[in-house]
Structure 1
């Protein structure tokens, strides 16, 4: 296991027998998805963090695209957060994260896919040279659908009485929502009366054991984003 992010000139860490190897970056929301699945399903794993600005040569040999998350499972190399998460749920059936009903499972996958619109719009906010509140309005418009979906489902989590795949796949960006306010000021505060159900969902998610194991405060996320916006991402600032 490597806590600090390995960069060029480093050597890979030997894989621990009987464990999945997860290559990650501590502030990557896509990698967080896989962390949450591994924690929720209690799958033995070890973690090697990768410096995404100065990627190790050996990492690019294993994964030429240089992305995280990536995993090695029984000699097989996989990448892309949704593919890895679905694979882990199928390979380790204990504590299933999808519904058994095929239609409900398909609808959950569609909901996860639709959240990609929120992700794209949030990145425009985070990476904009000048914080503009107008950039946040489309994010709220897309999130309205998730507020309505919570009302339709009528359960504490999107997946029912406990978090499932939908919850874990969208949580990383919800964990980071408050960073917009920290970076841009109080005018970027999320409207309280517009997303009441999602606020209750967020409170419940923070108490989930899998989420607790990887949770960072909005201030910690903002500190990393500030370094990223400055062109010098500080991957190890909390390690």
Structure 2
């Protein structure tokens, strides 16, 4: 029987659950069963101390005992995975790990396409959605080829957690443009099954927000006054 990993340090994560990149860090710390504190930051009125932690003034920021900090979502996720090995998120096989990192990089195309639509719903049309669908086909085929419920195998791994925040927000397309923008269940059967399975993951449940809350947040952001207290 494997023991639950013990973390001598209590970590601090500065960010906000409404921000996609911050959820990567929240999910990884939850998945690796580490004790951590979250400090939500109003990015419209950034506190001075944030720039002391990260000169770029961005979140997320990871702080450990002693005040040492890291920033950048992927750097934080990889550090946590290597430092606290309760359940490795990356494959320990160098080749598989490298292939997974390429897959994560490839997903940036989906991220960029979705982000443009979320920030400017006027760009939502058949062509823009077709572009996203075209990029997702690679992931449908890859998941099918791996023959497991998750990209990480029987349980979610680094690829799964890096993709999830944006897939969670994919329902915004339906809210913005109606059911015609929903992905085809026949064309993306594996990804649909994957999405349902991810929603049952304990780490995902800790930061999951319903589509209407995401829609409310982006609406406030488009109005020029991001509602960072949406969960209060």
SS of equivalent to 1:110: helix
Deviations 1:144-202 (Å, cap 9, x if unpaired)?
10000011101000000001111011100000000111122233222222211000000
Which residue does the alignment assign to 2:28? Answer: 37
Out of 72, 77, 99, the position equivalent to 2:69 is 77
Which residue does the alignment assign to 1:159? Answer: 152
* Residue pair 1:131, 1:184 contacting (<8 A) in 2 also: no
How high is the TM-score relative to the length of structure 2?
0.92
| Compared CA separation, residues 56 and 135, structure 1 to 2 (3 A) | same
* Residue pair 1:59, 1:66 contacting (<8 A) in 2 also: yes
CA distance, structure 1, for counterparts of residue 174 and residue 121 of structure 2: 15
Out of 89, 92, 113, the position equivalent to 2:105 is 113
Out of 49, 56, 59, the position equivalent to 1:68 is 59
Instruction: Using the TM superposition, give the Cα deviation of residue 101 of structure 1 relative to its aligned residue in structure 2, in angstroms.
Output: 1.0
CA distance, structure 2, for counterparts of residue 54 and residue 226 of structure 1: 19
Flag structure 1 segments of 5+ consecutive residues without an equivalent.
1-16
* Residue pair 1:26, 1:235 contacting (<8 A) in 2 also: no
Which aligned pairs between 1:129-168 and structure 2 lie closer than 5 A?
A: 129-133=121-125, 134-168=127-161
Out of 44, 48, 57, the position equivalent to 1:53 is 44
Deviations 1:97-146 (Å, cap 9, x if unpaired)?
11121101111111111111110010111111514222222111101100
How high is the TM-score relative to the length of structure 1?
0.90
SS of equivalent to 1:136: helix
Which residue does the alignment assign to 1:88? Answer: 80
Please tell me the root mean square deviation across aligned C-alpha atoms, in Å.
1.3
Deviations 1:50-108 (Å, cap 9, x if unpaired)?
01111011212321211111111233211000000000011112211111211011111
Instruction: Using the TM superposition, give the Cα deviation of residue 209 of structure 1 relative to its aligned residue in structure 2, in angstroms.
Output: 0.6
Flag structure 2 segments of 5+ consecutive residues without an equivalent.
1-7
CA distance, structure 1, for counterparts of residue 226 and residue 183 of structure 2: 26
State which drifts further: 65-74 or 152-161: 65-74
How many residues in Structure 1 have an aligned counterpart in Structure 2? 223
State which drifts further: 72-81 or 39-48: 72-81
> Is 2:187 the counterpart of 1:194?
yes
Poorly superposed stretches of 4+, deviation over 4 Å: none
* Residue pair 2:33, 2:86 contacting (<8 A) in 1 also: no
CA distance, structure 1, for counterparts of residue 160 and residue 124 of structure 2: 28
* Residue pair 1:20, 1:72 contacting (<8 A) in 2 also: yes
